[in-house]
Amino acid sequence: MDWIEFPSLGRADLRDLRVAIDGSFREFTRAYGPALERIFEPLEDFLVWLETLLIQSPWPLVLIGLVGIVFLLSRSVKISLGATIALLLIGYFGMWEDTMRTIAVVTVCTMVAVVLGIPVGIAMARSDRMQSVVNPVLDLMQTMPSFVYLIPVVMIFGLGKVPGVIAVVIYAIPPMIRLTNLGIRLVDPDVLEAADAFGSSGRQKLLNVQLPLALPTIMAGINQCIMMSLAMVVVASMIGVKGLGQPVLQAINNQYFTMGVMNGLAIVAIAIIFDRATQAYGKRLQKHSEVVHG
Amino acid sequence: MAEPHGIEIKNLYKIFGPDGASMVERVINGMSKQELNEKHNHVLGLNDINISMPGGKITVVMGLSGSGKSTLIRHINRLIDPTAGEVLYGEQDVCKMSTSELREFRRHRTAMVFQKFALLPHRTVMQNTVYGLEIQGISGKKAEAKAAQWISRVGLDGFEDNYPNQLSGGMQQRVGLARALTNDADILLMDEAFSALDPLIRMDMQTVLLDLQQELHKTIVFITHDLDEALRLGDKIAILRDGAVIQQGSGQEIVLRPADEYISNFVQEVNRGRVILVDTVMDRGEVAETDMVLQQGILLEEAAKQFAESGHAIANVVDKSGKPLGSLSMQQAISAMVTPNSH
């Protein structure tokens, strides 16, 4: 009854395979780790600068600055007032510094995701082959448990901010790419034909027609990207990203219920602020489609 | 003003499918649209089109849906690439242009108006109207001044800052027309431009177009499925069926001498009084004993009106200098306006 046995790789072979892969990856890390780290140095510097700016500046200034940005995006007194109250409560409960760190990380991660995600999304929208290549990669990025890709990232970069940012970006960039692609593909073909008929070049078509018309969808992508970054910040605290995630991690390890809930609620609060502000901004971009002739 | 070039379409074929080029031979040898579709899974879009579109005149291409008329107009600015054949504008063959030549041709020589308007929804009327100039690299005050003039000309004064979906269909198409005219191109391509509008507004827009053409003398190619519209606008009409031209000529020729039963069924419902000229019906060379005169080149309907007002039963048709060309009786005028029972 030999055939009933699953024809699996022998235990020894399997071990050899693992050793071989791990070994060569470790060698790769040793050889290229420092070089890779150097590439990401400017990113780290920027993150540290932003974090210091938010923490070292007097809190009323930071508060006014943040609420000002929220107001500029949303043009809504209600949302701005909500943001003010939420930030004041966060400060009152002693979570100001951690919150600032988290805001800094999320801001940087979102910026990286936007800068990388929009061009990839555009490329995907322009070529079906590109789409068929990128789509499975995005599936992988979204479904692979985040802990799994933390391992190689930590092996290369060690613990700290940069690996945290990379891990968060990997997790948060897929909706950015997907929604940019979708937004461009959904642009009315009649309007594109008109642009062609007037002799638009590819670039003119992209800048005058495709991107502006896809913008509401792209904004939804940015919004999703921010939300996912915030969710990932807690996991990233396991590899040394400071901020609201670390107290949550501590609370899990020590069963500090109150501490966990408070920091969790702080994350929820800034998530809601970011969400409402970006959504209101996205809506404002669609002003032209709201007023319908009747 | 120099008369713009006409457009010559010669032996144009379009076969949709993966290997259209190798199917042309079969179509030339007489394979039908149906057979091509069933045996080779290719769709015959245009079959040996030869039309000469005179410069400075309105050429109407008429056909029902699926006749290939929209495909045909898209060959003139090559939004669709032909399978075989030539589209000549002056000396140039549009089908042989390189990508950059084609882009320049589209920017400076053609402008297009679309059935579904195809305005940019995120831009105001003014921003939509300057689009063509912007693509050409002209922007700012100069472009806006030019656009403002055309916005005003199509009757949209005061709507410059509105978005397209704040406007009614008729007004949106006026924007489409203003956008095309601002481009200042010789060729104006109108793809069922008025088909989506309701009848009164359509009449209105036809009048706008005819008025504009009186001063502009552009080479206009107008696509429609409406014979009345074709007869009203067209200096020349080509009728398309299953991708082939079955008759071309002036409106009068088509109404009086339909090439086949398909067309004669079409023209049966036409108001002949608005198509046929007195010159066609009059007894050429005769001079009648009457003091009533009719100008050469007026429509029968107008002649009937003048008969009714004057109370005469017969009139002489005269040319511009007053020289008599022939005579026309009220009897003749009225019987020519009524559709004969058979052709």
Which pLDDT score is estimated for B140? 83
Which pLDDT score is estimated for A91? 94
Kindly give the interhelix angle for A211-236 and A96-126, rounded to the nearest 10 degrees.
Answer: 140
Cβ of A155: how many Cβ atoms within 10 Å?
A: 16
CB within 8 Å: A197 and B116:
no
Res. A1: pLDDT tops 70: no
A208 touches chain B (CB under 8 A): yes
Q: Which residue of B has its CA nearest to A215?
A: B122
Using alpha carbons, select from B210, B256, B221, B195 the residue that is nearest to residue B51: B221
CB within 8 Å: A188 and B118:
yes
Which pLDDT score is estimated for B268? 84
Which pLDDT score is estimated for B1? 46
Q: Name the helix (H) or strand (E) containing B302.
A: helix B300-310
Q: What is the mean pLDDT of chain A?
A: 90
Which pLDDT score is estimated for B341? 61
- d(CA B274, CA B60) in angstroms, rounded, equals 17
pLDDT tens digits, residue range A255-271?
999 999 999 999 999 99
Q: What is the pTM of this model?
A: 0.83
* Longest distance between any two alpha carbons in chain A, whole Å: 78
Using alpha carbons, select from A181, A236, A231 the residue that is nearest to residue A210: A181
Cβ of A47: how many Cβ atoms within 10 Å?
A: 23
- Nearest by CB to A199, which of B106, B123, B163? B106
Write down the CATH number for the domain with range B54-84+96-271.
Answer: 3.40.50.300
Q: Name the helix (H) or strand (E) containing B33.
A: helix B33-40
Cβ-Cβ contacts under 8 Å, B166 against chain A: 291-293
Domain boundaries, chain A: 12-289
If DSSP states are collapsed to H, E and C, what string results for chain A?
A: CHHHCCCCCCHHHHHHHHHHHHHHHHHHHHHHHHHHHHHCHHHHHHHHHHHHHHHHCCHHHHHHHHHHHHHHHHCCHHHHHHHHHHHHHHHHCCCHHHHHHHHHHHHHHHHHHHHHHHHHHHHHHHCHHHHHHHHHHHHHHHHCCHHHHHHHHHHHHCCCHHHHHHHHHHHHHHHHHHHHHHHHHCCCHHHHHHHHHCCCCHHHHHHHHHHHHHHHHHHHHHHHHHHHHHHHHHHHHHHCCCCCHHHHHHHHHHCCHHHHHHHHHHHHHHHHHHHHHHHHHHHHHCHHHHCCCC
The larger pLDDT score, comparing residue A4 to residue B12, is at B12
CA B217 to chain centre: 13
The larger pLDDT score, comparing residue A195 to residue A288, is at A195
Q: Which CATH architecture has domain A12-289?
A: Orthogonal Bundle (1.10)
Which pLDDT score is estimated for A240? 83
Which pLDDT score is estimated for B54? 92
pLDDT truncated to tens, each residue of chain B (343 aa)? 456 788 999 999 999 988 888 888 888 888 888 888 888 889 999 999 999 999 999 999 999 888 899 999 999 999 999 999 999 998 889 999 999 999 999 999 999 999 999 999 999 999 999 999 999 988 888 899 999 999 998 989 999 999 998 998 889 999 999 999 998 899 999 999 999 888 888 999 999 999 999 988 999 999 999 988 999 999 999 999 989 999 999 988 998 889 888 888 888 888 888 888 888 888 888 888 888 888 888 888 889 999 988 888 898 898 888 888 889 988 888 888 887 765 4
A192, A198, A286: best to mutate for the B interface, most B CBs within 10 A: A198
Q: Picking from A147-161, A214-228, B14-28, B207-221, which range would have the lowest pLDDT averaged per residue?
A: A147-161
Which are the contacts of B55, defined by CB distance < 8 A and separation ≥ 6? B3, B4, B5, B6, B7, B186, B219
At A293, is the pLDDT very low, low, confident or very high (cuts 50, 70, 90)?
A: low
Domain boundaries, chain B: 54-84+96-271, 274-337
Kindly give the interhelix angle for B169-182 and B199-216, rounded to the nearest 10 degrees.
Answer: 20
β-pair partners for B222: B60, B190
ipTM for the assembly? 0.84
Cβ-Cβ contacts under 8 Å, A289 against chain B: 121-122, 163, 165
CB within 8 Å: A190 and B114:
yes
Q: Which residue of B has its CA nearest to A190?
A: B118
CB within 8 Å: B107 and A209:
no
A203 touches chain B (CB under 8 A): no
Which pLDDT score is estimated for B46? 92
A294 touches chain B (CB under 8 A): no
Which string of DSSP letters, residue by residue, matches B189-234?
EEESTTTTS-HHHHHHHHHHHHHHHHHH--EEEEEES-HHHHHHH-
* Longest distance between any two alpha carbons in chain B, whole Å: 70
Which pLDDT score is estimated for A7? 79
Interface of B with A in 251-310 (CB under 8 A): none
Interface of B with A in 88-147 (CB under 8 A): 103-108, 110-112, 114, 116, 118-123, 131-132, 134-136
Fold of B274-337: CBS-domain (3.10.580)
A132 touches chain B (CB under 8 A): no
Which pLDDT score is estimated for A191? 94
CB within 8 Å: B114 and A200:
no
In single-letter form, the type of residue at position A267 comes to I
